[in-house]
Structure 1
Amino acid sequence: MQPFQRAHIDTVVQLAALGADAPAALRHDEVIRRSWLRCVQEHALDPTRMQEAVILPSGRLREHQDQLEAFLHIARHGLEALYQQVAGMGYVVLLTDARGVTVDFLGDLQHGDLRRAGLYLGADWSEHHAGTCGVGTCITTGEALTVHLDDHFDATHIPLTCTTAPIHDATGRLTAVLDISAMSAPQPKGSQHLALQMVKLYATQIENADFLHRFRGEWILRLAPAPQFLDVNPEYLLAVDSAGRVIGHNRRAQRLLETDLRRPLRGRGYEQVFDAPFHEIGRFVQARPADQRAVMLADGRQLLFMTATPPPPRPAAPAIPKERRLPAPLAALSGGDAALDRQIERAARLVNSPMSLLVTGETGTGKEFFAKALHASSERRSRPFIAVNCAAIPETLIESELFGHLPGSFSGAGPRAKRGLIQEADGGTLFLDEIGDMPRPLQARLLRVLAEREVLPLGATRAVPVNLRVIAATHCDLEALVREGRFRDDLYYRLNGARFHLPPLRERGDIGWVIDTLLGGDEGPAEMSADARGCLLAHRWPGNLRELRNVLDYARAVRSTGAIQRADLPELRVHAMAPPRDGAGPAAARHAPTPDPARPRQPVAASEAAAAAELQQRLRAAHWNVSAVARDLGLSRMTMYRRMKRWGIVSPNSMDGSSH
């Protein structure tokens, strides 16, 4: 250990011991002092222990990168432009995700010490790992800053200077952190002032580029306090849908307009933001003199200048045969979400195809609604649509339920023959939900039905021909289950004639339309206040459409009269329980299923880790009331216990180690 490192450790220890009573000479900047105290008091880091940089292995790094794949393509240009400005000064450029893991990097790879210093791809710069540092402290405070030399908590890092700025998404959530760091720098912290301004500038440019890409099909409002740079470098950005509701904003617009923290900016009407009617927005589209581009905020506290870019016109639909027009049941599934529209357009071309279809997506994304719309759009619409939840039927009954049985063909069989669900679907559509949970012995029998178009009831010797269309659905990664030997590959390929993936509700651009559609129930359409709507738009909806429907049903039931108010909504707290999606780091370890000490641990597939973690979080939130969670998920208690056993989840209320 070098003398300067020992002296730094003594300073950190003294400040941690004295806290607010530390001499001014030891306090550094206020933000640094507070970070040092967090490192000791909250993160339990030992200032006397010098830690090597944490570099994630390539597999775990790729998981972090996959979560930001589209964003990384947009951000890359900004990183390259920034690196061109600072490379000659000895800096490297890092882009980390919101957890502090470096997902992109530009630097001189011939500099052999970069990896050892942590200035490298895959480095984890979260504050609870690395202590006070540019990235970790930026994530914690949400502010751009410089952590210079001995500002660092860990004495290993005090040769470094790190300057960072946060990048937010269109809802105000932290997406990434932009960082430029150098292995050495002059002592005065003020020497990094220009670096800080550059990082803030490029972080804003990346944030705005991501915003404009995401909302390229909506109204884009560009605003600035003065007209001179309005068209060149607008300070504030808003995205507005065709109904005049704010559906996105950049961080600066959020800070300017979201003065009431209880009312999110997203979901507000145009007239609630500006002192102008939305139907006159066209006057801001064409280039006009500056005084004609002025608009006052609704509260009258500031005059801004605005230009508006309308959504691009939809290309005229070419003349197509009548049978190729979008069927009404499928068209009714979307309010204009681009990803969902692509799936619907593909489905419309296959409504009468005999091939089997596979629908994937998170729990609650509407896979059964999608299958019903396919059936209703097809020539089979007058015949039955039979839905089978493969996870809800007990394993001992699923064979007879699906295939039917003759009298007395097994213990418990009644005196009468029973047609199975496959025969009930004859002439129509058989929808197999949660196909990934079908027991493997039954998969071979189902494969025969698909291949031969005939079904053999239990106890029978002659097969019965059936004419049906099979649509399967799952939230699992079937390919991973095939690799693990838990799902037949031949059945997978038979089911996967065409595949449709439904986006989660949080990623849909038509969520306002979805809310309005669900509000128009059997009792007639219900009104909703802007405050309540904004609350719904800001929620992450881990339960997707199913959760939203439950929330709206609850609100309609408890409201007194008039429009639904925010107070009528149930507490939306599930989003706080959502597990990290990368499965890495201490957070993932906290959410991992608890192994059962009474039985060998069942291996949890990587594809199911998120589902297992989410289930455990739901159970914890419900105080391990299995029945309540099963009802929320639309599953039977037996299915819940089956999944808990498979994923090694054990209730702390089970004194004997049994899930039951």
Structure 2
Amino acid sequence: MTHRPATPSRIGRPDVIAQAHARSLELGLRASETPDFHPLRRPALRELVDRNQSLFTHALPVMETLHAQIVDTQSMVLLTDNRGLILHSLGDSDFVEKANRVALCPGVSWAEADRGTNAIGTALVDGQPTVVHADEHFLRANRILTCSCAPIADPFGRTIGALDVSGDTRGFHKHTLALVRMSAQMIENHLFSNQFADAVRVHFHARAEFIGTLFEGLAAFAADGTFLSANRSALFQFGQPLAALQGQPFEALLGVAFPKLLQQIARTPGESLMLTLPSGVRVVARGEFAAQRYVGSAEGFVGTSGTAASNAVRHGPRIVEPAPLATLETLDTGDAQVSAILRRVAKVRGRDIPILILGKTGTGKEWLARAIHHDSPRRAAPFVALNCASLPDTLIEAELFGYEDGAFTGAKKRGSVGKIVQADGGTLFLDEIGDMPLAQQVRLMRVLQERTVVPLGGTRAIPVDLRIVCATHRNLRAMIEDGTFREDLYYRINGLVVTLPALRERTDLAALVERMLELQREGEGLPRRVSAAVLERFMQCRWPGNLRQLANVLRTASIMAEGTDRIELDDLPEDFLQDCADSAANDNAQSLLAAGDDAKGSDATVQASTPSRMEDWQATLIAQTLARLDGNVSAAARELGLARNTVYRYLRRGGTTH
């Protein structure tokens, strides 16, 4: 037998192809068999797609995005059902003819029983993402292909299909499987969000920057706290299979009483909180009620679907908002930059001038938007917020503009009232508007021009009267130049532009701490202040998460210090203390690096524990940072506050290669 070189499918899983070939032989297949050129007839294919309509609907936009990433690589994207029957394909025109020669087209089965070892059939049997490369295919006719496939599971963990990229074996790229796996996970998350639109959903991850991304954990709970399901990332973080999580109480899974979570979401919607997994790992989390609205206390919900929704086409469902966390007056805590911003905003109070709030993530853009609403004549009407970055592109349109009954597969009976109609009479806050897809930018522009909205699947324009406040951390002008943000929409939303400073640039940290502690107090027993040592440590930190990070640190520390009158250093989260230490070290490093640049080869020295020459010490520091960050020069440069060229220059000076 000719020795075959190792391929990506065999690295780490050497038995997969061998086992698949053994199954193919047991099925009585012969390697010389010719492909089946008899796909399902068109009516049967339509019926097949109809039976898998939810999968098809949620997968199609993801397939289009995936195809755009691999275009002109002589390949195609395929979607199958759980038996391996191809439902849909998108491919390069120059590859379609070659694919047809091996019956790689809709309506054809690529199950192992029909095609032997191949990525689609083998991934479905094995239940794992799989690559089958060239002569690893059982049928000789298929050895012109390299195929990368990942199974797709429904929100309850049952395999319902597969996503595959197949292409000319000469164009194989080792990263293709990663793209396919991420795309399959995206489809699963879309299905999860649709399935549990009326549930309480908790988004969580051990790292705050992964909240709102493809890698966040998603867990769904009924109105009484009963566990419903969780996505792949959540199961991985829980460290338990789905079956083992069924029946477990909310508190056992996330370390807090369910009513307390509901109160937290109602009081500070969109804000993060710290929860504890059964393993003891602390995670950053964000809860949401989705289509249901919190009413009165933690004991109940009221839904917006059904008769209530159908009767609310004009004014939207009743939304019970928490008491406002801020007014323009309470946001003024002594920083000169913020005070100037608040004075500018106050001048347009009562005037429906659109406001665009710029600033880094966590700088308090939503707080300012709520304060603008609260201090306006519209304060008695709803304040409705939508984070454009937290929803898949395919769901933003339905969430923002609403939809009629039957507008798309999976749509709720009697339709859904969109955020625009919900905000009628009040304020619509579009956070991270820079992440809104171009197609929805066009529709939003029309709404702002005509002051009417037509729900998806509808024909009647609904008049709306609202004020719009937008926010983003992106450079919209640069996006206009790149063609990713519409210039006409930009000039519609930037009647008044204000830029919130980062927390480390503010001079009112002590007042902010006091104000946040007051807002977060949930009764007696929690501290009202921090010690001088804690405040000093706060002053040393760079606060990459800005006000959001400060609020989370104080919330956790308050619970740790319960029963005392103030928060001490021992009450602060350990990872935060480490971050502060790293910040101080990096600041010192930057000062030393700057001094080294000024010295230009002088004999300046540091303490005996470091290399004798300044430039050697600098290069060593950079090398250590690179080692901790797995050689990521960009990340090391960001952490050290240097340009990448500077990092490379110091590496060369220190005689270190990368």
TM-score by length of 2: 0.41
TM-score by length of 1: 0.41
